[in-house]
Chain A
Amino acid sequence: MTENELKEIIFRELKKIAPECDPDEVDLNENIREELDIDSYSFLQLLIELSEKTGVDIVEADYEKVYTLDGMIRYLGAHLL
């Protein structure tokens, strides 16, 4: 899976929980939970979808590593290898 494909999956899933956002406009280094006002339940739903779509298990202790889009891409990318 390329970085672009990964990004596409993340953006598509993000759109589902925050339909009004434009993922292209979101700063890659911002905490998306704060930036897009995503509560803990919706954030967990996002991680569930990402985990199931990519096959990467995101352990709970690592949640804070995926608070930014950049963090998500790097985390999933690293674990896909």
Chain B
Amino acid sequence: MAEFRMPSLGADMETGKLVNWLTKPGDRVKRGDVIATVETQKGLFEAETFEEGILGEPLVQAGQKVQVGTVLAMINPEGAGGTVEKVSDVSPAKPAVSAERVACSPSARRLAAELGVNLAAVRGTGPHGAIQRCDVDKTAQTRKMVEKPAPIAAPSAPVHAETAATDTLQEGMRQAIAAAMSRSNREIPHYYLEMEIDMSRPLRWLEVENLKRPIRERILPTVLLLKAMAKALRNVPELNGYWLDDRLQIKPELHIGFAVALRGGGLITPAIHNVDKLNLNELMKAMGDLIERTRAGRLRSSEMSDTTITMTNLGDLGVRTVYGVIYPPQVALVAFGRITERPWAEGGMLGVRRTVTATLAADHRATDGHRGSQFLEALNRHLQLPEEL
């Protein structure tokens, strides 16, 4: 029997309000389903389950505020005796469940105590879901960085009523960015590599492709960059993962954090999941969906916690080169500037080409410049074959 708990969505989050249940007791749920909406000081979140089974009766009612880690409902294995049994040892709105009930390695438990992490809020990845050191570390880091946008005010809402709340949100977000970036600069020995990439071929290909499509189905150049980046990471997987427990942990999944600037200021980098498995149409859709939900305050908890590498594209402004700061525990960040026409010498001739500067910021503990340049080479190679993206 599994538990669906109030998730932890920020280092300073102690309590969360259950706004509403999106799934009824008796419904079958599976990993990744959104079960409820929760509200923190930073806005609304969609809370997902990581379990599969039949959702039990709510132990916390809509509108109740409870501590992080509180069991909101049980999730019973299918076929386990029809309707939901009442769980006696979990009373509604009970403060966070004690750490003793959680399967956890002793060293992870010590680390959790050191870092002040509530074990009830950690998702274990060890055998039978046991919590390991890396899970604790990841939760601690994620809690520092996970941030939420202000829900966008309805056009009719009075502007003044929003101001105070927005100020607090802005402040919270600034604090979180400050903590993550300070840690990054303190701990990560960054190295930077940049490459100017001729975009003529991919852009021409895209223009022809877009000409065939109604405006709603057109693809933005950023999507080509994202997909080429994913393919290049398959060639150089060492850039996709975490630096934890003094070693590089390469991740098989490619969840690219996509930097989205918020209109009120601040920045959120939610993940586009499995970029390598999406074709350009699907990727355009996924990116649009993520941008919309980021700005509307409807991100899912997992999108804020499982990013394996980050991409930032400041090409909408005039910036040509971006030297990124890596989000720990990730080990690389890929940045693109604006696509512009520049003089380009090739084959003894000087011409004008549309180009973009791609910059890799990477953790020197995890990789060396040689591997980094192989990544940029691969990125260029994939971009020059847009029809294969």
A residues whose Cβ falls under 8 Å from a Cβ of B: 15-16, 18-20, 33-34, 37-42, 44-45, 47-48, 51-52, 57-61
Instruction: Assess the A59–B263 pair: CB atoms within 8 A.
Output: no
Among B207, B211, B222, point to the contact of A40 (Cβ < 8 A): B222
CA A4 to CA B352, docked complex, whole Å: 41
Known: A48-B215, A51-B215. A61 touches B261 (CB 8 A): no
Known: A48-B215, A51-B215. A41 touches B220 (CB 8 A): yes
- A40-B316, A52-B216 known; 16 new pairs, CB 8 Å cut-off, are A33-B316, A37-B263, A39-B261, A39-B316, A40-B220, A40-B221, A41-B222, A41-B287, A44-B215, A44-B218, A45-B288, A48-B215, A57-B215, A58-B215, A60-B211, A60-B218
Q: Which residue of A lies closest to B213 (CB)?
A: A60
- B154-178 vs A: 1/0 string, CB under 8 Å? 0100000000000000000000000
List of A residues within 8 angstroms of B211 by Cβ: 59-60
B residues whose Cβ falls under 8 Å from a Cβ of A: 152-153, 155, 207, 210-211, 214-216, 218, 220-222, 261, 263-264, 287-288, 291, 315-317
Instruction: Assess the A18–B263 pair: CB atoms within 8 A.
Output: yes
CA A72 to CA B263, docked complex, whole Å: 23
List of A residues within 8 angstroms of B155 by Cβ: 15-16, 19
CA A20 to CA B287, docked complex, whole Å: 23
List of B residues within 8 angstroms of A45 by Cβ: 288
Closest Cβ of chain B to A23, distance in Å, is 13
Closest Cβ of chain B to A59, distance in Å, is 7
Q: Which residue of A lies closest to B291 (CB)?
A: A41
Closest Cβ of chain A to B289, distance in Å, is 11
User: What are 13 inter-chain pairs, A to B, with CB distance below 8 A?
Assistant: A19-B263, A20-B263, A20-B264, A34-B317, A37-B263, A40-B221, A41-B291, A44-B218, A48-B216, A52-B215, A57-B215, A59-B211, A60-B211
Q: Which residue of A lies closest to B157 (CB)?
A: A19
Closest Cβ of chain A to B201, distance in Å, is 17
Closest Cβ of chain B to A64, distance in Å, is 13
List of B residues within 8 angstroms of A44 by Cβ: 215, 218, 220
Closest Cβ of chain A to B342, distance in Å, is 18
Instruction: Assess the B263–A60 pair: CB atoms within 8 A.
Output: no
List of B residues within 8 angstroms of A33 by Cβ: 316
List of B residues within 8 angstroms of A16 by Cβ: 155
List of A residues within 8 angstroms of B287 by Cβ: 41
Closest Cβ of chain A to B372, distance in Å, is 27
List of A residues within 8 angstroms of B207 by Cβ: 60-61
Q: Which residue of B lies closest to A38 (CB)?
A: B316
CA A72 to CA B152, docked complex, whole Å: 26
CA A15 to CA B211, docked complex, whole Å: 28
List of B residues within 8 angstroms of A15 by Cβ: 155
Closest Cβ of chain B to A52, distance in Å, is 8
Closest Cβ of chain B to A20, distance in Å, is 7
Closest Cβ of chain B to A63, distance in Å, is 10
Closest Cβ of chain B to A8, distance in Å, is 15
List of A residues within 8 angstroms of B222 by Cβ: 40-41
CA A42 to CA B220, docked complex, whole Å: 11
List 3 tightest A-B contacts by C-beta distance, closest first.
A39-B316, A60-B210, A51-B215
